[in-house]
């Protein structure tokens, strides 16, 4: 009963605090055409970020020499772990020294933060919960797996665990509002980390078995019926294959294989984490997201990935469970970034890549994620992996990522202005995928890997923005573009001019006029592979 009242009060106070936050310039999400943007202090913000290794931010001392090196990469945002065990050392007693220190150091280095709330779960396990939570398995029950063995994973059906986590998170968010409610160093919160049951397809604790054998909650069935047309097809197919029933047990409604287990877990993790996030938002409603350990139903079951995390197959369950989570985000270490972005941005979910490869791969992918998927942000994992402060290897190791971030930071105001209007595209090319085509503002652009000269590129990446009727702004490396018309009129397209340049204080400052070998004697718009350049092309049509 008490729990219900808490949830109802939290949910009711939501719109009021959200409106208050937006008026004070606090970070929030806003629609811009078809895109969603992160807006901070009244302006859209593109996160060019990186995540620290899991344990670095547990010590202010350890972090002190790291901060300036992060700023020099250059990043604008650091995804920073913050664990439940360190901020609530005794139940109800909070110590925010670490939070304050991290915020101060970030400010000193002109960096923003996304805090990762490592509490009930981190990579499926519950190792970041305070020891008193880990020990008290009566009050804070564990997941039980097939062999009947409790594992070090808190059961998402544990109501007391949820209340304890939500209380601590609410205290943290209250504190962040108090110390950062006007400076807005903290942009967003990640709630938990890569959740789901590892080692089995579902929790088999007594409470979980009882719920699984019982009826699918009415509330969930109503949501599914009301949203039937917009449910993601992977999930809808499973429901329909079992007869699209409007009531029944989990296996009656979703079938008798492990998919029903995963659906059940997704609903329960969703309920728990939506409640934790809602409690935090009632204190300070900045954007909140959940990250995902990728996998899916094409993988073998029981799965090698955690069962119940917000994979596309079960994302609808998370959405049915609440509205406090604003984004479902893929941790993307696979070679098919585009496919995952396509799957994750369905249903209006904005793209945010909280964890991914850095180095040259990240340096190329960030153009693709931002240009093609209008990502709110991009963050490479383990940015301080190579810390050797003597030799400054932190900077060397992140050179390629840093070069891309520097160019994107320069372009960010223009990118953000053109997002959501069909005026921008991004791409990544390599030997196996050496060409692609895109259409912008009445022109077809055939983009190919720049392999003609001795500077032949192994990879090409970039983005193009249509900035005027016959004008394009491009940035990237190792590709060339040929134009053809898509609208009625003269059949040929010529290159009028190409200028390289920079944006100084938002104003275009042209450098060399690129012609001759640099534009293949007027035949192509080229971006050589030796560097990342910004170029403006003016084209014309002729008979």
Q: Which residue ranges make up the site for ligand DGJ (CB under 6 A)?
A: 54, 123, 193-194, 331, 355, 381
- Phi, psi of 74, rounded to the nearest 5 degrees: -110, 135
Nearer to ligand DGJ, 125 or 170 (CB): 125
Nearer to ligand DGJ, 13 or 123 (CB): 123
Q: Tell the smallest beta-carbon distance from residue 327 to ligand DGJ (Å).
A: 16
Q: Which residues pair with 2 in a beta bridge?
A: none
Cα–Cα distance measured from residue 360 to residue 365, given in angstroms and rounded to the nearest whole number = 9
- Phi, psi of 495, rounded to the nearest 5 degrees: -90, 120
Cα–Cα distance measured from residue 520 to residue 48, given in angstroms and rounded to the nearest whole number = 33
Nearer to ligand DGJ, 355 or 450 (CB): 355
Nearer to ligand DGJ, 165 or 192 (CB): 192
Cα–Cα distance measured from residue 147 to residue 403, given in angstroms and rounded to the nearest whole number = 51
Q: Tell the smallest beta-carbon distance from residue 294 to ligand DGJ (Å).
A: 10
Give residue number: closest CB to ligand DGJ: 194
Q: Tell the smallest beta-carbon distance from residue 199 to ligand DGJ (Å).
A: 17
Among 211, 217, 266, which Cα is nearest to 246's?
Answer: 217
Sign of CA dihedral 223, 225, 230, 235: positive
Among 436, 516, 513, which Cα is nearest to 480's?
Answer: 436
Q: Tell the smallest beta-carbon distance from residue 193 to ligand DGJ (Å).
A: 5
Nearer to ligand DGJ, 193 or 477 (CB): 193
Nearer to ligand DGJ, 294 or 445 (CB): 294
Q: Tell the smallest beta-carbon distance from residue 273 to ligand DGJ (Å).
A: 15
Q: What does the DSSP 8-state code read for residue 52?
A: P
Nearer to ligand DGJ, 311 or 320 (CB): 311
In a 13 Å sphere around the CA of 234, the CA atoms on its Cβ side amount to 19
Nearer to ligand DGJ, 309 or 363 (CB): 309
Cα–Cα distance measured from residue 295 to residue 151, given in angstroms and rounded to the nearest whole number = 22
Q: Tell the smallest beta-carbon distance from residue 75 to ligand DGJ (Å).
A: 18
DSSP 301-358: SS-SS-BTS--TTTHHHHHHT-SS--EEEEEE-SS-HHHHHHHHTGGGPPPEE-EE--
Q: Tell the smallest beta-carbon distance from residue 52 to ligand DGJ (Å).
A: 10
Cα–Cα distance measured from residue 27 to residue 105, given in angstroms and rounded to the nearest whole number = 20
Q: Tell the smallest beta-carbon distance from residue 126 to ligand DGJ (Å).
A: 14
């Amino acid at each position: 009963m008490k729990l219900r009242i808490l949830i109802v009060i939290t949910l009711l106070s939501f719109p009021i605090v959200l409106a208050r936050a937006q008026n004070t310039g606090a970070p929030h999400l806003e629609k811009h055409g078809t895109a969603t943007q992160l807006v901070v202090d009244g302006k859209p913000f593109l996160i060019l970020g990186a995540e620290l290794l899991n344990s670095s931010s547990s010590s202010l001392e350890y972090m002190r020499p790291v901060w300036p090196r992060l700023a020099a990469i250059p990043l604008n945002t650091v995804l920073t772990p913050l664990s439940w065990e360190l901020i609530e050392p005794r139940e109800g007693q909070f110590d925010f020294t670490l939070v304050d220190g991290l915020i101060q150091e970030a400010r000193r280095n002109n960096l923003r933060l996304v805090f990762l709330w490592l509490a009930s779960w981190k990579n499926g396990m519950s190792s970041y919960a305070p020891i008193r939570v880990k020990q008290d398995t009566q009050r804070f029950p564990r997941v039980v797996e097939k062999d009947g063995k409790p594992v070090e994973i808190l059961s998402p059906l544990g109501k007391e665990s949820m209340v304890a986590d939500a209380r601590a998170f609410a205290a943290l968010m209250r504190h962040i509002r108090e110390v950062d409610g006007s400076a807005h160093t903290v942009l967003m919160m990640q709630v938990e980390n890569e959740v789901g049951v590892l080692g089995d397809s579902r929790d088999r604790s007594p409470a979980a078995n009882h719920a699984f054998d019982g009826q699918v909650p009415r509330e969930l069935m109503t949501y599914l019926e009301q949203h039937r047309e917009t449910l993601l097809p992977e999930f809808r197919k499973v429901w329909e294959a079992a007869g699209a029933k409007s009531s029944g047990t989990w296996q009656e409604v979703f079938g008798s294989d492990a998919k029903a287990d995963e659906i059940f877990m997704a609903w329960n993790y969703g309920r728990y984490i939506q409640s934790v996030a809602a409690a935090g938002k009632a204190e300070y409603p900045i954007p909140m997201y959940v990250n995902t350990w990728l996998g899916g139903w094409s993988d073998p079951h029981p799965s090698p990935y955690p069962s119940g995390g917000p994979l596309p197959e079960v994302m609808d369950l998370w959405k049915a469970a609440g509205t406090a989570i604003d984004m479902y985000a893929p941790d993307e270490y696979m070679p098919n970034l585009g496919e995952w972005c396509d799957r994750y941005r369905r249903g209006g979910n904005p793209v945010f890549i909280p964890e991914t490869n850095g180095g040259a791969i990240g340096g190329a992918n960030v153009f693709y994620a931002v240009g093609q998927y209008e990502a709110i942000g991009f963050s490479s994992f383990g940015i301080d992996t190579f810390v050797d402060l003597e030799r400054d290897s932190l900077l060397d190791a992140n050179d390629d990522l840093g070069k891309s971030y520097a160019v994107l930071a320069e372009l960010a105001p223009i990118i953000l202005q053109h997002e959501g209007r069909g005026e921008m595209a991004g791409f990544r090319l390599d030997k196996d995928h050496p060409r692609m085509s895109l259409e912008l503002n009445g022109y077809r652009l055939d983009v190919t890997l720049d392999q003609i000269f001795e500077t032949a590129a192994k990879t090409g990446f970039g983005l193009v923005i249509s900035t005027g009727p016959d004008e394009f702004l491009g940035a990237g490396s190792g590709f060339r573009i040929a134009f053809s018309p898509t609208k009625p009129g003269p059949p040929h397209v010529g290159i009028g001019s190409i200028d390289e340049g920079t944006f100084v204080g938002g104003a275009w400052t042209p450098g060399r006029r690129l012609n001759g070998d640099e534009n293949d004697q007027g035949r192509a718009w080229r971006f050589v592979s030796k560097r990342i350049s910004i170029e403006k092309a003016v084209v014309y049509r002729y008979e």
